[in-house]
Structure 1
């Protein structure tokens, strides 16, 4: 088993001292563990403070970029964990999630938290993706 932790160059930068993606090679395939993403712009500022719909879409775009940097897509997601600061706004997140994950839904956990690490951030999402062994 080989484990790699990294921050892909063409993907969102981490907001602190941690790795964005953990890759575990397993029998020719791989599991990708993607750190929780909040909606941050290139300067590290929260995008659309307090806006669940906008932040949800931005978070999904960030997750997609991180997965693509590892040769995966959102279609490879097998588990998703979501942290919301207000569970009554779940429908706004659910709409974005359906837009970006239109197929069979992955396993899922969604919890309400009192706050996230940046003021104005209302959602954080982390995923696990599975890549099958490559033929040939």
Structure 2
């Protein structure tokens, strides 16, 4: 599936189809890397203690704000990496992700269950890579 500067290849020949992610995403433009985001609000307070859906929604809010700062959006994301305290929380992460991303154009993804995140109250950390068209300007930089 091709959209502007990105091409999604969900089912390369000889590879079992991907659900719920895309096996390959390629594109042309400027690369954007967003560090792993956790469920902190603007004041540095945890959002959704013990609630994986609330934390996932806040993580995607933070990812969206970081992407916007680089002139990108969720449509530009080519890869998500999930670090989970409990891999069972991927169900809630998928719900939050699908609220901000088109399920028909999902990025490449990897998910890991980890022993611990930066603090035990955090249930997940998610990082993103995006590609934006080369001629798209950074916000506030002309």
TM-score (norm 2): 0.71
Instruction: Give the secondary-structure state (helix, strand or coil) at the position aligned to 1:42.
Output: coil
Name structure 1 gaps, 5 residues minimum. 1-27
- Counterpart CA distance in 2 for 1:121 and 1:72 is 26
Name structure 2 gaps, 5 residues minimum. 1-27, 137-142
Over the residues paired in the alignment, what is the CA RMSD in angstroms? 1.6
- Counterpart CA distance in 2 for 1:88 and 1:67 is 27
TM-score (norm 1): 0.74
- Counterpart CA distance in 2 for 1:123 and 1:116 is 7
- Counterpart CA distance in 2 for 1:130 and 1:98 is 19
Q: Which residue matches 2:68?
A: 68
Range moving further from structure 2, 50-59 or 87-96: 87-96
Alignment check: 8 A CA contact 2:32 2:131 kept = yes
Q: Which residue matches 1:127?
A: 128
Give a deviation string over 1:43-89, Cα, whole Å, max 9, x none.
Answer: 32221112110010100010101111111101100011001111122
Deviation beyond 4 Å, 4+ runs, structure 1: none
- Counterpart CA distance in 2 for 1:81 and 1:59 is 12
